[in-house]
Structure 1
C-alpha cells in the first residue's frame, strides 16, 4: 500500500477480540497511502486506531504539527538526540549491589554510596520513574520493588533506592557532553492499554539502565520544561496510544510523534508552563540542579495530590489548545 501512492484507501480494523467485531462499523476506518505517509513519514508503518474518528483527529494533528524527527527531508526542530546509557545485560559487570559495596566499606548517603573520594551512583530503571516524578518506586533490601508511599513523597529528603550502583566515573564517561545536573528520560517499556503510555520525566544525574531512554537537546532548560509538559499531556498520550502496538515505545515511534516546535512558545506561554513543570517536578532535594537551572533557589515543593492534579489539568487544557483540538473532539477523547 505505502509503495503505491495512488492506491485507493483501504479499510482497517484493530483492537478486535472476536470475528464478530469486524462487523462493527464503529471499529472500522480507512486510510490511504498518503495518510500512512503523513502519520509515519520515516517508516511508512501503520497506526492502530480504534475507529475512524480517532483516525481523523490524529491526521488533522499531523497536518498542523511536525513530527519530532523527520528523516527525509531531515528535520529536527528540537535538535534531539537519544542515549541508552547502560544495558542491563551487556553492562552488568559495572553494576554493584548494596551488599558488595557495604562489604567494601562504602556508606549509603541518600541513595549514593561513598567511601572517601570514591562515589557510586544509583542505577535508575524505567520502573522507578513516572510522569513528573523521579520517585515513583523504590527497591527494598529483599530485592522487591514497591511504589513510594504518600509519606515518602511528602518528604523532600526521601529518595528512591535502586537495585544496583555504578561508579560515578563510568557515568561521567558517558555524560561528558552534558553540562547539567539532571537528565530527561522516558520509559520505553509501555502498553497502549496502560493508564498512561507516554511517560517522560526529569531524573537526577545518575546511572541510567534498562528501558529508560535519555533525551538530549541544546535548548535552554526553560524550553526543555515545555518539552516535558508536552510529552506528558493527555493529547500527546492519546496520539502515542495509536502508535504503540506491543509493549515498547521504540525510538522510531518517538521520532514520528507530533511535538509542538520550540518556536511556538512565546514568553507568555513560558510564564504559564515553566512554573507548573517546576512545581510538579521539584519535590525532592536531589533535583535541586534542575530547579536552579530554571532560576528557582528555594526548597522543594510539597507533594500535594490535589494541587498536582489541578496543575496537570491546566497543562492538559493548554496542550489541547496548542494542538488545536476542537471542543467536541476533546470531549470525545476524554470519554
Structure 2
C-alpha cells in the first residue's frame, strides 16, 4: 500500500517534492445527499476508529474553503490514470454500497470532487457527460424520496449490489423537457456548489459565480421541491405521497408499517416536527397549482 498515505502523513506527502500532488481517498460514509463534506476524520487525529465518523458542523459547512480530512491520501496521478483528463471528468457521482437500518435513507448518493474513491462507493457516470445539464437530473432522481421508497421495496440485506440498482426505475434523459432541466439543474447546482473544490462542476454547468451559501432552511426547501417534482414525475397523487412520507397519515396510527422511520425520528428530535413531510407536501401543492 505504498501509494496511500495515512492522514498523519498528509503534511509530509504534500511537502515531498517527489511525491507530486495528493488528493483524499474518499469513503462512502463521508458523503450524504448534495454534501461531499458530510463527515470526516478531522476530529479523530489520524485514528481510524469506528465506522461512524464525526459529522461536519454548521460553522465548517458555512466555510466554502473547508474540506473534510480523510484517513488516506492518494497520488492525483493515480486518479488521472484511471479517468483521464480531470477537465473532462470535473466531478464524481456515487452511491453507498452498504445499507443500514440506522440510516434515514436507503439509497444514499452524492457528488464529490474528482478524488480517489474507495470500494465502499460505486461511481456512476452519465453518458452525455457532466457538461450537459441533464446530468443533474440523474443526481436529483437518485437523491429523491420517491426513488428511495422504490429502492426499499427492491433491496434486501445490507449490500446494495449494482445488479439491484440496474433494475430500479430511473427516469431516462429524454423524459425531461427544457423547463424541467432548468428547474432541476439550478437546484442541484445550488445544493452542490458550496465549496471551491466543486468549481469545475459549476463551470461545466455554465455557472461562473462564487460557491452558494450553506443555508440550512433554504437547502431543505430546495430538496423538498425536488422531492415533490419527482413525486409528480412518478405519477403519485397527494395521498400516495402522504403514504410514502408517513403511512400513519393515511392508514391510521395503528397501522403496523413505517417508511422513513429513522428520518422522521431524527427530525422530530431536531426540529420538533417531521419537517420533510411538511415541506414536501407544501412543494407538491405549489407544483399542482402551477399545472
Aligning the two structures, in what range does the TM-score lie when normalised by the shorter sequence?
Answer: 0.7 to 0.9
Matched ranges for 1:1-335 at <5 A = 92-103=1-12, 106-107=14-15, 115=17, 118-140=20-42, 141-143=45-47, 144=49, 145-176=53-84, 179-191=88-100, 194-221=103-130, 222-335=133-246
Cα distance, 1:326–1:274 mapped onto 2, change above 3 Å: same
Identify, as 1 or 2, the structure richer in helix: 2
Q: Which has the higher contact order (CA 8 A, sep 6+)?
A: 1
Report the count of equivalent residues: 237
TM-superposed deviation, 1:217: 2.1
TM-superposed deviation, 1:115: 3.7
CA RMSD of aligned residues (A): 1.8
TM-superposed deviation, 1:99: 3.3
SS of 1:123's equivalent?
Answer: strand
For structure 2, the residue ranges without an aligned partner over 5 or more in a row are: 247-291
1:132-181, CA deviations, whole angstroms, 9 ceiling, x for partnerless residues? 11000010324253111110000000001100011111111111277122
1:296-335, CA deviations, whole angstroms, 9 ceiling, x for partnerless residues? 0111011111001111111011001110112221111111
Residues 123, 165 of structure 1: 8 Å contact kept: yes
1:270-308, CA deviations, whole angstroms, 9 ceiling, x for partnerless residues? 111110000111111100001001000111011111001
Identify, as 1 or 2, the structure richer in strand: 1
Cα distance, 1:301–1:116 mapped onto 2, change above 3 Å: farther
User: Structure 1-normalised TM-score?
Assistant: 0.67
Question: For 1:208 and 1:287, how far apart are their aligned partners in 2?
Answer: 16
Residues 7, 46 of structure 2: 8 Å contact kept: no
1:223-265, CA deviations, whole angstroms, 9 ceiling, x for partnerless residues? 1100000001000000111122111211011101000110011
SS of 2:80's equivalent?
Answer: helix
For structure 1, the residue ranges without an aligned partner over 5 or more in a row are: 1-91, 108-113
